[in-house]
Copies of this chain bind each other. A is one copy, B any other.
């Protein structure tokens, strides 16, 4: 974890923001429990709640904290270990020393939380809490708050205050994200080097994830590694690698400090793009570069998304797959047929940062409303950019037969889309190219100390090594 002062300052800022919004009462933060994979004692790899990590840093299960908005009192709830725990888990630091690590002076047994929350509520005090991101936390909140629909009573002022803090990355966080990106580059390089006709995709996944496990916490989300890139979230890796295909690898490393990286590259399985693949790849590559060139304080990421969509339609026009006025096509949402997702999302302690706090609260400024259109409607980050935003830049072009057939059947985009020509692309798959980007005072910087090869010639050169 970071130095104590980091966590103290963050909590202080949180309490000040709540007071500035006229809020009173207490803030209840709940750390994660272990998540059973099979039975209760065989758990997935331990992962703490991100908001907890941000404000307290303590990376162990079954803790809670109550922060008093009115008098600034902070209390940590956690249990000291007994001899049984020592046998199974080894000597552990005391709760007192853990509290000291995050700069909290008062601590109580975990079991005391229920009574304290009940007492606070009896005394008419507001208990502010955020959306639980795990089923355990849902159950815990149901018990603490004493009602079934705990989701309806989350504190929007608290959520907004947390978002406003976590959205702007501190220098120490940017350093941590740079390090996670460096690991991400190393992992992707290992994957690229492992691509080989005739092996099973899962083989590459094993080789690449070993980097994430050896040097970081693990992967920052379930790896997408597929010759069916047109399926956006394809987590199957059971296919044999065939020549002439495109392999989409969308994967990231979560560092031991729990900051994420998230990159996507698309490789020709044979090492060289076919002319058809290269044409489409070039468009996506230019979209990625174009989005980055526009990224700077003052522009909204919604504007960057739309400008990138226009760029994409320009390229698709040149291939004869769409036709007509570019602005009209952008307005009609034609780009969504080819890229049914948004240009990017916030990234930090979560790979989609703070998504559990509400996509729109995280990614949209007050006054911005989320579109319904395919593609733009999936944009997770639309805000006006400010220095300290960490976002992804991930345009993609996919040929999804079911979606194309649906559009065609319903007459969608019939004035713009050359459906007959599209049929030749039904086995094409998809291409996505993703970098992680920091908004700086005078523009933007790609995160990580080196960039994965992305220009078509560079990709082919890297694969030839």
Residues of A in contact with B (beta carbons under 8 Å apart)? 35-47, 50, 83, 86-91, 133-136, 138-139, 202-207, 209-215, 221-222, 228, 230-235, 340, 349-352, 354-356, 400, 402-403, 406
Contacts and interface: CB of A to CB of B under 8 A. Distances in A.
A231 B139 contact: no
Contact of A133 (B40, B134, B355): B40
Given A38-B356, A135-B135, A209-B210, 9 more contacts: A38-B47, A38-B351, A41-B355, A42-B355, A45-B222, A87-B232, A87-B400, A206-B213, A207-B210
A230 B89 CA distance: 9
Contact of A400 (B86, B136, B139): B86
A207 B210 CA distance: 6
Nearest to A350: B38
19 contacts: A35-B37, A37-B47, A39-B355, A39-B356, A41-B352, A43-B222, A46-B222, A87-B231, A87-B340, A88-B233, A135-B136, A202-B213, A204-B214, A206-B210, A206-B211, A206-B213, A209-B210, A209-B213, A210-B213
A61 to B, nearest CB: 11
A158 to B, nearest CB: 17
Contacts of A135: 35-36, 134-136, 138-139
A400 B35 CA distance: 28
Contacts of A354: 39
A207 B207 CA distance: 8
A234 B89 contact: yes
Q: List 5 tightest A-B contacts by C-beta distance, closest first.
A: A206-B214, A210-B210, A90-B231, A135-B135, A39-B356
A35 B42 contact: no
A90 B228 contact: yes
A89 to B, nearest CB: 6
Q: How many copies does the complex hold?
A: 2
A394 B119 CA distance: 49
A138 B46 CA distance: 20
B402 A231 contact: no
A42 to B, nearest CB: 5
Contacts of A40: 133, 355-356
Given A209-B209, A210-B206, A400-B86, A35 B44 contact: yes
Nearest to A232: B88
A262 to B, nearest CB: 11
Given A35-B35, A207-B214, A44 B42 contact: no
A402 B86 contact: yes
Contacts of A91: 402
B39 A133 contact: yes
Contacts of A83: 402-403, 406
Contacts of A88: 231-233
A400 to B, nearest CB: 6
Contacts of A210: 206-207, 209-210, 213
Contacts of A87: 231-232, 340, 400, 402-403
A22 B230 CA distance: 53
Contacts of A234: 89-90
Contacts of A36: 35, 133-135, 356
A222 B37 CA distance: 10
A80 B235 CA distance: 18
Nearest to A46: B235
Contacts of A42: 221, 350-352, 355
A107 to B, nearest CB: 22
A111 to B, nearest CB: 18
B206 A215 contact: yes
A148 to B, nearest CB: 9
Nearest to A349: B38
A159 to B, nearest CB: 13
A163 to B, nearest CB: 13
A212 B206 contact: yes
B233 A89 contact: yes
A213 B205 contact: yes
A350 B135 CA distance: 22
Nearest to A374: B87
